[in-house]
């Protein structure tokens, strides 16, 4: 069997800690399922930026292109402006490889305490548009430092871009509980979001099997808190999906659990798997990061690479580990270290 190739970018802060954990869990599950993965690690990070003046080499994207998948921890560190580090690595990968779907599942696991009452049934997926929308390089700043300084940032929504993310979300909803919510703000934003609504409605007509509605982002944020159990698939633009996915992760108990898959559904390019969280400078280097978000992301990677049984085993191990108070990290009210949680996951897999 030829091995599938994985580019590993641990990045900064707890990115390196949770990727270590994910690699250990992958080794255990792959041995059990006879899956062969061949890893190449890249030290692309803010440390590299300090040393070499760039987050990755000029041919970094070309280098990644030949891999079957990318596993990333997190990038960003105090001292390097976030827009420099993120637009120097993470965002160009998403855009060059047309990873237009950012899939972010949310579940309240047994034993994990949601900050909300009655949230036990929460099980939904945020489908975030991942390559256009509010994240664009179009705009500018003038009169820097003067009273008349101004900054302009354009949002770009295309018919192709909105149609394909809506189709993906409708199809996902059809394979789940058949209910889609589209995040909008067409009452306040007068060009892009009315367009988003129109295109989503057009695509809905092709998916009569899915019940759907549209909610303004402000009211939707409130409903994530008040009625999180009612959602199945939630589709949103790049920025709305970003904010909703951290909110959803908090509803499910901690941002430390939340995974993501940046997918090119055509499989022309490698997809990228990374936890939703960042480099967490406040807890980095203390061995206390929750590795579950990265481990669940690795499970999404296994599924994408065609190993559903191995992926399911990782999720079962996560469920068993989260169910026990002694194998929960501090963000979940426990005292376990990253290494202890990782060891418990491996034990379930052997
Ligand atoms: P963050 O997600 O790093 O941290 C937010 C809070 O959640 C912190 O209190 C942190 O301690 C906690 N937290 C996050 N992950 C955790 C885990 N696995 N276990 C336990 N606690 C966890 O967000 P931030 O503080 O806004 O960003 C820090 C840096 O990370 C910034 O440079 C930011 O740009 C970057 N960032 C990168 C990515 C990415 O690479 N995909 C994502 C988000 C933020
Ligand atoms: C995420 C992160 C990134 C985003 C940042 C770090 C650019 O918050 O993956 O959710 O906004 O996409
Ligand atoms: Mn985010």
Rounded Cα–Cα distance for residues 341 and 344 (Å) = 5
What is the per-residue pLDDT for 118? 86
Quick one: which atom of ligand 2 is closest to the CA of 274? 9
Q: Best mutation site among 19, 253, 280 for ligand 1, i.e. most ligand atoms within 8 A of its Cβ?
A: 280
Residue 333, pLDDT > 90, answer yes
Cα–Cα distance list, 104 to 12, 83, 263, 286 (Å): 21, 22, 11, 27
Which one of the ligands is nearest to 134 CA? 2
Query: What is the separation of C-alpha 91 from the centre of its chain, rounded to a whole number of angstroms?
Result: 12
Distance 278 CA to ligand 3 centre (A): 8
Contact of 269 with 65, CB cutoff 8 Å: yes
The predicted model gives 298-327 an average pLDDT of 98
Per residue in 136-147, pLDDT tens?
999 999 999 999
Per residue in 1-15, pLDDT tens?
799 999 999 999 999
Which one of the ligands is nearest to 75 CA? 1
Distance 286 CA to ligand 3 centre (A): 23
The string of DSSP codes covering 13-39 is THHHHHHHHHHHHHHHHHHHHT--EEE
Show which residues are catalytic: 135, 185, 218, 242, 246
Distance 198 CA to ligand 2 centre (A): 27
Q: Is the CB of 74 under 6 A from ligand 1?
A: yes
- Ramachandran assignment for 122, one of left (phi > 0), alpha (psi -120 to 50 degrees), beta (any other): beta
Quick one: which atom of ligand 2 is closest to the CA of 76? 6
Q: Is the CB of 282 under 6 A from ligand 1?
A: yes
* CB-based burial label for 297 (10 Å; 0-12, 13-18, 19+): buried
The predicted model gives 120-132 an average pLDDT of 96
Per residue in 209-243, pLDDT tens?
999 999 999 999 999 999 999 999 999 999 999 99
- Residue 141's SS3 state is strand
CB atoms near residue 217 (< 10 Å): 19
What is the per-residue pLDDT for 156? 98
Contact of 71 with 21, CB cutoff 8 Å: no
Instruction: Label the pairing between strands 101-107 and 259-263.
Output: antiparallel
pLDDT confidence bin for 344, thresholds 50/70/90: very high
* Residue ID of nearest Cα to ligand 2 atom 7: 86
The predicted model gives 92-109 an average pLDDT of 98
* Residue ID of nearest Cα to ligand 2 atom 11: 242
Quick one: which atom of ligand 2 is closest to the CA of 75? 6
- Supply φ then ψ for residue 106, to 5 degrees: -130, 130
Residues in CB range of 245: below 8 A, 6 or more apart = 102, 104, 106, 126, 128, 258, 260, 276
Residue 103, pLDDT > 80, answer yes
Residues in CB range of 124: below 8 A, 6 or more apart = 105, 106, 228, 231, 232, 233, 234, 248
Quick one: which atom of ligand 1 is closest to the CA of 282? 11
Quick one: which atom of ligand 1 is closest to the CA of 331? 20
Q: Could you give the residue ranges of the DSSP H alpha helices within the chain?
A: 14-33, 46-52, 60-65, 82-87, 90-96, 159-175, 192-204, 217-226, 238-251, 292-304, 308-323, 338-349
The predicted model gives 28-40 an average pLDDT of 98
- Supply φ then ψ for residue 320, to 5 degrees: -65, -40
Instruction: List the domains of the chain with CATH numbers.
Output: 1-99+260-350 (3.40.718.10), 114-252 (3.40.718.10)
Distance 287 CA to ligand 1 centre (A): 15
Q: Best mutation site among 8, 130, 279, 288 for ligand 1, i.e. most ligand atoms within 8 A of its Cβ?
A: 279
The predicted model gives 240-249 an average pLDDT of 97
The predicted model gives 248-254 an average pLDDT of 97
- pTM, rounded to two decimals: 0.98
Ligand 2: residues with CB < 6 A are: 76, 86, 90, 242, 276, 278
The answer to whether the complex's ipTM is over 0.90 is yes
* Residue ID of nearest Cα to ligand 2 atom 8: 242
Q: Which of 317, 284, 253 is nearest to 111 (CA)?
A: 253
Residues in CB range of 279: below 8 A, 6 or more apart = 11, 12, 13, 14, 15, 73, 74, 75, 76, 77
* CB-based burial label for 121 (10 Å; 0-12, 13-18, 19+): exposed
* Residue ID of nearest Cα to ligand 2 atom 6: 86
Rounded Cα–Cα distance for residues 248 and 260 (Å) = 13
């Amino acid at each position: 069997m030829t091995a599938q190739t994985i580019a590993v970018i641990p990045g900064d802060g707890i990115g390196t800690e949770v990727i270590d954990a994910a690699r250990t869990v992958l080794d255990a599950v792959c041995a059990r399922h006879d899956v062969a993965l061949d890893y190449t690690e890249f030290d692309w990070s803010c440390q590299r930026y300090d040393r070499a003046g760039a987050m990755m080499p000029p041919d970094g994207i070309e280098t990644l292109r030949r891999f079957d998948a990318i596993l990333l921890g997190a990038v960003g560190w105090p001292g390097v402006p976030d827009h420099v580090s993120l637009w120097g690595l993470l965002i160009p990968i998403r855009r060059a490889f047309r990873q237009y779907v950012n899939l972010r599942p949310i579940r309240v696991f047994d034993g994990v305490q949601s900050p909300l009452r009655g949230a036990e049934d929460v099980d939904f997926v945020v489908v975030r548009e991942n390559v256009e929308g509010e994240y664009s390089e179009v705009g500018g700043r003038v009169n820097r430092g003067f009273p008349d300084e101004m900054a302009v940032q354009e949002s770009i929504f295309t018919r192709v871009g909105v149609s394909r993310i809506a189709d993906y979300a409708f199809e996902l909803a059809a394979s789940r509980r058949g209910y889609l919510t589209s995040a909008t703000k067409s009452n306040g934003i007068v060009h892009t979001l009315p367009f988003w609504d129109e295109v989503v409605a057009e695509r809905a007509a092709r998916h009569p099997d899915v019940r759907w509605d549209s909610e303004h982002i402000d009211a939707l944020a409130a409903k994530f808190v008040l009625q999180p159990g009612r959602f199945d698939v939630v589709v949103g633009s790049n920025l709305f999906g970003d904010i909703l996915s951290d909110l959803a992760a908090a509803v499910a108990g901690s941002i430390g659990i939340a995974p993501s898959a940046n997918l090119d559904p055509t499989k022309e390019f490698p997809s990228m798997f990374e936890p939703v969280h960042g480099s967490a400078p406040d807890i980095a280097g203390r061995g206390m990061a929750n590795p579950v978000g990265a481990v669940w992301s690795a499970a999404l990677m296994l599924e994408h690479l065609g190993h559903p049984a191995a992926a399911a085993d990782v999720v079962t191990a996560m469920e068993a580990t989260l169910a026990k108070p002694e194998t929960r990290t501090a963000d979940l009210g426990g005292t376990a270290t990253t290494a202890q949680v990782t060891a418990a996951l491996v034990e379930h897999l052997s």
